[in-house]
Amino acid sequence: MAAGGAAVAAMIQAVKASGVIVRVEPGEFQKLLRREANPLVVTATGGLFSRNYQYLFSHKGLAFYTKSAEQLTLPRETELVNASRIWIPG
């Protein structure tokens, strides 16, 4: 039981360290990007059996995250940061 409690405590600490992360559908993520003049987006690819594309973007103090089976079309003025991995708690 103590190991389970330690895992929960570690997850709570991870959430505190990362702030508020909001998972949204890819279409909603694209709508949010269009609200920013020069959005900064962190991207990564993942997946064991099939590739997925992951995106992270900060808007008005919240971090928005989405994952898609296909690459998203991002606004031309988007600044990209290619990460080897994006880890989201939970």
Above 80 in pLDDT, residue 89? Answer: no
Better pLDDT: 88 or 19: 88
pLDDT score, position 27: 96
Above 70 in pLDDT, residue 4? Answer: no
Above 50 in pLDDT, residue 1? Answer: no
Domains of the chain (ranges; CATH) run 20-82 (3.30.720.90)
Q: pLDDT tens digit string along 32-78?
A: 999 999 999 999 999 889 999 999 999 888 899 999 999 999 999 99
Count of CB atoms situated within 10 Å of the CB of 15: 14
Query: Are 44 and 11 contacting, i.e. CB atoms less than 8 angstroms apart?
Result: no
pTM above 0.85, yes or no: no
H runs (alpha helix) in the chain: 2-18, 26-34
